[in-house]
Amino acid sequence: MRLHDKVAIITGAARGIGQSAAEVFCREGATVVIWDLLAEGETTAQRLRNQGFRCDFMSVSTTDVSGIETAAKEVYDRYGRIDILINNAGITRDKTLLKMSFDEWQQVIDVNLTGVFNCTKVVAPYMVEQKYGRIICTSSINGVHGAFGQTNYAAAKAGIIGMVRSWSKELGPKGITANAVAPGFIQTAMTDAMPDEVRNQAVATIPVRRIGKPDDIANAYLFLASDEASFVNGHVLAVNGGQAL
Ligand code: NAD
């Protein structure tokens, strides 16, 4: 049980990668709190509680600072600690630069970049108080290398790397590590929305010749959240089957 007695908030865990992370973290002994917009978050939490795990759902948007403040205080009051924050929530609004509207730019920046800042800004003081914390943020292969049709997404995911490296320096002396995971091509609702042909072409470029599974990323989150990773700080862990090196 690598997360015995740890309390973890995972954003965007109603489905997809975050949902897998909630399952993996529960199995490893953590108390998990899901912050998501989707009511399906309660279904996920209920299913995990039915299996005997500790998992709560809170309806929280990572763009709503006062909602985050209220939810973080509730978690702290209920469990007395917040050990792990996984900033996993994210959206896409893909268009080429020439077609992207200002609104599409702003929506993705608001959720994928400012949302990560908001949650970390609110939760970090609890971690400072307890002199322990693990902050893990979900970047992307496309934030490292750029991607056709993803000016907004790539900018936000690259921005996450800058924030994580800054936090690793600011918060490291206070017992808190900050790291990012940069997933490659992972099978979730986000990639199911792509046309089959585009998806098949993408898989053909992955050296291990398969699409990633949500658990591949959840296990990377687990490593970074565990005590084994206590000397890993400011790192960007690529989990992409070797697609981009
Ligand atoms: P998904 O769409 O299946 O899940 C994203 C979750 O985030 C959803 O439950 C959604 O409701 C939630 N969410 C969105 N906006 C929110 C907000 N403002 N507040 C709270 N919750 C919000 O996507 P996924 O594929 O599981 O992606 C998870 C993370 O991994 C994202 O940050 C994504 O950018 C990143 N990522 C995914 C892939 C991939 O191939 N699937 C690749 C690289 C990075």
**Residues 106-142 pLDDT 10s:** 999 999 999 999 999 999 999 999 999 999 999 999 9
* Residue owning the nearest CA to atom 12 of ligand 1: 12
Q: Which of 48, 16, 51 is nearest to 32 (CA)?
A: 48
Spacing, Cα 11 to ligand 1 middle (Å)? 9
- Asked if pLDDT for residue 69 goes beyond 90, the answer is yes
79 is catalytic: no
Residue 25 CA from chain centroid, whole number: 13
- Report the pLDDT averaged over residues 1-22: 98
* Residue owning the nearest CA to atom 8 of ligand 1: 12
* Residue owning the nearest CA to atom 4 of ligand 1: 16
pLDDT in tens, 100-113: 999 999 999 999 99
pLDDT in tens, 164-217: 999 999 999 999 999 999 999 999 988 888 889 988 998 999 999 999 999 999
- Asked if pLDDT for residue 245 goes beyond 80, the answer is no
Residue 187 one-letter amino acid: Q
* Residue owning the nearest CA to atom 41 of ligand 1: 186
pLDDT of residue 94: 95
Instruction: Give the DSSP letter string of 136-185.
Output: EEE--HHHHH--TTBHHHHHHHHHHHHHHHHHHHHHGGGTEEEEEEEE-S
One of 126, 132, 153, 221 is an active-site residue; which one?
153
Using an 8 Å Cβ cutoff, are 33 and 84 in contact? Answer: no
Spacing, Cα 91 to ligand 1 middle (Å)? 6
pLDDT of residue 101: 98
Average of per-residue pLDDT values in the chain: 97
Spacing, Cα 173 to ligand 1 middle (Å)? 30
Q: How confident is the model at residue 6 (pLDDT cuts 50, 70, 90)?
A: very high
Mutation test residue for ligand 1: of 57, 60, 186, the one with most atoms within 8 Å of CB: 186
- Provide the 10 A C-beta neighbour count for residue 203: 18
For the CA of 187, the nearest atom of ligand 1: 41
Ligand 1 pocket by Cβ (under 6 Å) = 11-12, 14-18, 35-38, 61-63, 88-91, 111, 115, 138, 140, 183, 185-186, 188-191
pLDDT in tens, 199-208: 899 899 999 9
Residue 214 structure tokens:
């949500």
Spacing, Cα 112 to ligand 1 middle (Å)? 9
Residue 230 one-letter amino acid: S
pLDDT of residue 190: 83
pLDDT in tens, 221-243: 999 999 999 999 999 999 999 99
pLDDT of residue 194: 85
